Structure 1
Amino acid sequence: MSVLLIAKTLGLFFITAIAEIIGCYLPYLWLKKDGSAWLLIPAAISLAVFAWLLTLHPAESGRVYAAYGGVYVVTALLWLKAVEGASLSTYDAVGAAFTLTGMAIIAVGWNH
């Protein structure tokens, strides 16, 4: 797998994760934080974009979902810190490193 393909795939995974997180976070705001029901409209759009983005990845869907999970975990932790203001722990960092390692192992096997 070329460096360019790796960079494109990671970028696409990151954008996909953001779309999924937004699609889930907005209903959370509505249900738990007294947000407007109007938040459900951009949430639905975001989840539709998320599903579409998954179709753009360069491997079979099962492998894509498995590898995507690693990037999703890291993105969710970054969201937790940036949007929700939570502190991340050493356990978060170690767990994220393990999930990215697993993602990399799966992604390397895409061409084999």
Structure 2
Amino acid sequence: MGTFAVYAAAALAELAGCFAFWAWLRLDRSPWWILPGALSLIAFALLLTRIDASVAGRAFAAYGGVYIVASIGWMRFVEGARPDRWDLIGGAICLAGAAVILLGPRGG
């Protein structure tokens, strides 16, 4: 699985896990939402270990940009809220920053 695919899968797992807890605590859903939420967050953590980076902090920092863009997609496609231009511009800036962190040339 390529780096972007792993990041995308991790973002989906983290968003689903966090949303399960949001649903339980903020939307008055059943406490049973905790179980799939916790499993999803475990999957998220395991997926991030599959990133091909020399140090964990760099992998996590680059993931942040992907997570932000995925969150905007979640807002649109799961919650039905349309992102405004500032959401989209901010997401593009974050994704560009993630690319610089992950793909920038590293000295010997």
* Smaller-chain TM-score bracket: over 0.9
Q: 2:57 aligns with which of 57, 62, 72?
A: 62
Runs of 5+ unmatched residues, structure 1: 1-6
The runs of at least 4 aligned residues of structure 1 exceeding 4 Å deviation read: none
The residue aligned with 2:9 is: 15
2-structure distance, mates of 1:63, 1:30:
32
Q: 2 CA distance for matches of 1:107 and 1:27?
A: 30
Partner of residue 52, structure 1: 46
Question: What's 1:33 paired with?
Answer: 27
Give the length in aligned residue pairs. Answer: 106
CA apart distance, 1:110: 6.6
RMSD in angstroms over aligned alpha carbons?
1.4
Query: Comparing both structures, which one devotes a greater share of its residues to helix?
Result: 1
The TM-score with structure 1 as length reference comes to 0.89
Given candidates 81, 100, 107, the residue that maps to 1:105 is 100
Give, in whole Å, the separation in 2 of the partners of 1:64 and 1:13. 9
Amino acid in the other structure paired with 2:75: L
